[in-house]
């Protein structure tokens, strides 16, 4: 199963190829995507992305996770989150969201089992 292409990104809006939903923040993995609802894990800009935000994506058997920190990189990613991924044998890229989407799409196009979490505003 391949990772779906992120078809478009603009402030506050993301579309994933093959999905009719427009996301504000989203999670993607080989074969699927869904809204990334920060309330599920109590996520805020600081301290930022928690391992709990990534568990669902990790369970999909990804080899790489791309984290989009927002258009202005306001979303933090603590070292404990990066360590969590590395301990699970997963490569991680933490980037400004536009760059994160570019990297994610490039990896997906090469057939890499890539997943991601993306914040489309600040």
The string of pLDDT tens digits covering residues 6-62 is: 999 999 999 999 999 999 999 999 999 999 999 999 999 999 999 999 999 999 999
Find residue 44's DSSP bridge partners. Answer: none
Q: What pLDDT, on a 0 to 100 scale, did the predictor assign at position 85?
A: 98
Q: In terms of pTM, does the model score above 0.85?
A: yes
Reported as a pLDDT band with limits 50, 70 and 90, residue 116 is very high
- As a whole number, the mean pLDDT across the chain is 97
- Domains annotated for the chain, with CATH where assigned, are 4-116 (3.40.1230.10)
Range 8-25 burial, b when 16+ CB lie within 10 A, else e = ebeeeebbbeebeeebbb
Q: Spell out the alpha helix ranges (H) of the chain.
A: 51-58, 79-87, 97-109
């Amino acid at each position: 199963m391949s990772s779906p292409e992120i078809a478009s990104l603009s402030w506050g809006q993301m579309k994933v190829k093959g999905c009719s939903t427009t996301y504000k923040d989203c999670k993607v993995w080989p074969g699927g995507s869904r809204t990334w609802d920060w309330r599920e894990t109590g996520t805020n800009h600081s301290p930022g992305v928690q391992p709990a935000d990534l568990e669902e994506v990790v369970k999909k058997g990804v080899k790489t996770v791309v984290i989009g920190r927002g258009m202005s990189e306001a979303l933090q990613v603590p070292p404990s989150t990066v360590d969590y991924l590395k301990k699970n044998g997963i490569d991680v890229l933490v980037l400004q969201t536009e760059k994160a989407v570019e990297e994610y799409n490039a990896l997906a196009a090469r057939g890499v089992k890539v997943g991601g979490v993306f914040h489309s505003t600040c």
